[in-house]
């Protein structure tokens, strides 16, 4: 960056732009809502800075020098670009937007949050694109701050503390098996529950212990977990085709005719689902619109 630019006061360029348009110190002062002496002082500083008189006395006001004429258009364009850069962002128009949003979600978040908003999103913002990524929870904050993702859905208990958040809903667990399961015609007793063959979702891979087992252990009981899988959607297919049962979040089975859900005989703590985003997009009109659209859809 040159020494001239370091010495430059932006107000001087605004004054020069007015002088080149008016060719008159008095009219330029009126245009800028400044006093005539202030504009004259600005002109003197510009002449010293640029090493050129810029405006010379003429029969009908002032006439620009060749240097001033050469500056006129580049200066106008530069000031217009700067004005655009520092002006408040224009209101977001979803119908004309062509942005891409990158969202981190598990298969549970895809089903309970992304899927309900998708039709509305496509209708209101048909030129936008949505990318759903599976990001390990420990990497969500870093990916968000670096621009790898714009938004994430995750449970409150494991949410990164340095991201902004909004609670979307509270979830509870229900006992689920196939429609017509002989042991789920009614709510099982605690002993019947423990005797069933259970399946579990283990996001970390291969685990056979979850919040249900912790609740049972507190009462001195245990269940038989015979299958561990990494995804809820696969488990739903397993339940529909076998006599296995599972404790699932209730929203996953609200519209699943192949499955039957009953209240479990053991109290298992649920969880709260959050929408998370980094500070860098907090005030972005497009991002604000997306967050409101999602919150209204769940």
Q: What is the pLDDT of residue 3?
A: 55
Q: Which residues pair with 247 in a beta bridge?
A: 175
Q: What is the CATH number of domain 100-167+273-297?
A: 3.40.190.10
Question: What is residue 137's three-state secondary structure?
Answer: helix
Cα separation, 201 vs 236, in Å, equals 10
89, pLDDT greater than 80: no
Give domain 173-269's CATH number out of 1.10.40.50, 3.30.413.10, 3.30.300.180, 3.40.190.10: 3.40.190.10
Query: Using an 8 Å Cβ cutoff, are 142 and 204 in contact?
Result: no
The model's confidence at residue 4, banded by pLDDT at 50, 70 and 90, is low
Q: Where are the domains of the chain?
A: 3-86, 100-167+273-297, 173-269
Q: What is the CATH number of domain 3-86?
A: 1.10.10.10
Same fold, 3-86 and 173-269: no
Cα separation, 205 vs 7, in Å, equals 61
Measured in Å, how far apart are the chain's first and last C-alpha atoms? 51
240, pLDDT greater than 80: yes
**pTM assigned to the model:** 0.74
For the chain, give the mean pLDDT. 92
57, pLDDT greater than 50: yes
Q: The tokens 């895809």 sit on which residue?
A: 110
70, pLDDT greater than 50: yes
Cα separation, 276 vs 169, in Å, equals 13
7, pLDDT greater than 80: no
pLDDT digit string, tens, across residues 153-194: 999 999 999 999 999 999 999 999 999 999 999 999 999 999
Q: What is the pLDDT of residue 242?
A: 97
* Average pLDDT of the residues in 261-281: 96
13, pLDDT greater than 80: yes
């Amino acid at each position: 960056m040159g020494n001239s630019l370091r010495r430059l006061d932006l107000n001087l360029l605004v004054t020069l732009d007015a002088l080149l348009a008016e060719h008159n110190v008095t009219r330029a002062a009126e245009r800028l809502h400044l006093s005539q002496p202030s504009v004259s002082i600005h002109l003197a500083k510009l002449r010293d800075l640029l090493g050129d008189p810029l405006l010379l006395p003429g029969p009908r006001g002032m006439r620009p020098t060749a240097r001033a004429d050469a500056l006129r258009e580049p200066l106008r364009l530069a000031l217009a670009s700067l004005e655009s850069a520092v002006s408040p962002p224009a209101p977001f128009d979803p119908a004309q937007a062509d942005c891409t949003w990158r969202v981190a979600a598990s298969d549970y978040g895809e089903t309970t949050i992304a899927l309900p908003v998708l039709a509305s999103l496509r209708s209101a913002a048909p030129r936008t694109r949505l990318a759903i990524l599976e990001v390990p929870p420990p990497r969500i904050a870093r990916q968000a701050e670096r621009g790898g993702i714009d938004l994430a859905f995750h449970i409150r208990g494991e949410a990164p503390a340095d991201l902004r958040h909004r609670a979307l809903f509270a979830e509870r667990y229900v006992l689920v098996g196939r429609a017509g399961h002989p042991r789920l015609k009614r709510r099982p007793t605690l002993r019947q529950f423990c005797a069933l063959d259970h399946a579990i979702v283990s996001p970390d891979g291969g685990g056979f212990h979850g919040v249900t087992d912790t609740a049972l252990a507190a009462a001195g009981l245990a269940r038989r977990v015979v299958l561990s899988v990494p995804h809820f959607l696969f488990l739903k297919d397993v339940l529909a085709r076998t006599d296995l049962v599972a404790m699932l979040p209730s929203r996953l089975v609200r519209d699943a005719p192949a499955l039957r859900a009953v209240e479990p005989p053991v109290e298992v703590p649920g969880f709260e689902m959050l929408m998370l985003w980094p500070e860098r997009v907090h005030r972005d009109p497009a991002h604000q619109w997306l967050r409101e659209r999602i919150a209204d859809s769940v």
